[in-house]
Amino acid sequence: MKNKKSAYAAGTLLILALVLTTGGLAQTPEHFRGLINDYSPSTVKAGPYEIRGNWSLDLHAKSSTADFSAALNMETSDYGITEGIVDPTDPSTRGAHTHHIKLTHATVTWNMDGCPTFSIATTEGFQVNGTVSLLTGNGSNAPFETDPPSSTLQVCVTGGSGDYSIPYSNLTLVFQGPATAHFGTEAIHGFVRTKRQSNKR
């Protein structure tokens, strides 16, 4: 009799744990949108560049994968004037150009291990890692990228925890591979503007 009661209690706890876990995952937003607003390092050619643009991230919970895309505009910052890279009377010397970046069915990891840190620390989040499926320069395959692309990208979405906090507030992008020649190896920062659950159930 004790064994039956113990088995029943263990089964009940397992079901409860599964319900709680599923409920927690169900509460994670599946669609994120935001802006990128940062500078590249001064060590890249004609840098530092201003980096501005939009990004989106769609999670696929069943497969633990995600699709990420960003549309960026870059141009040499005012620092380029002091370095003689930019002629303040000629905007064309800023080298304005665009980049479109995509990760397709990239792996989602539900922790922040290896994500960039902040001086006001973020305390929870997730990351998406993979080889870029697209990395353009003014619409064509970027001149610093291989064909097909081989650069990898880490996307971290992090934020605060507890009362009066925002769980998903910050975005960072970190490249490895050929793309570091243009974007550098440091984190590119952005923020989460909107997040929502999928309407499909």
Q: What's the burial of 99, exposed, middle or buried (CB within 10 Å: 0-12/13-18/19+)?
A: buried
Phi, psi values for residue 58, rounded to 5°: -120, 120
Percentage of the chain modeled with pLDDT above 90: 69
Q: What is the pLDDT of residues 28-74, one digit of tens each?
A: 789 999 999 999 988 888 889 999 999 999 999 888 999 999 999 99
Residue 137 is classified by DSSP as E
Per-residue pLDDT of the chain (201 residues; tens, 9 = 90+): 555 555 444 444 433 333 333 333 446 789 999 999 999 988 888 889 999 999 999 999 888 999 999 999 999 998 888 888 888 888 888 889 999 999 999 999 999 999 999 999 999 999 999 999 999 999 999 999 999 999 999 999 999 999 999 999 999 999 999 999 999 999 999 999 999 987 654
Tokens 């960003």 locate to 70
- pTM here is 0.83
What DSSP string runs through 164-197?
Answer: T--SS-EEEEEEESTTHHHH-SSPEEEEEEEEE-
Q: Go through the domains of the chain in sequence order and give each one's CATH number.
A: 30-196 (2.40.128)
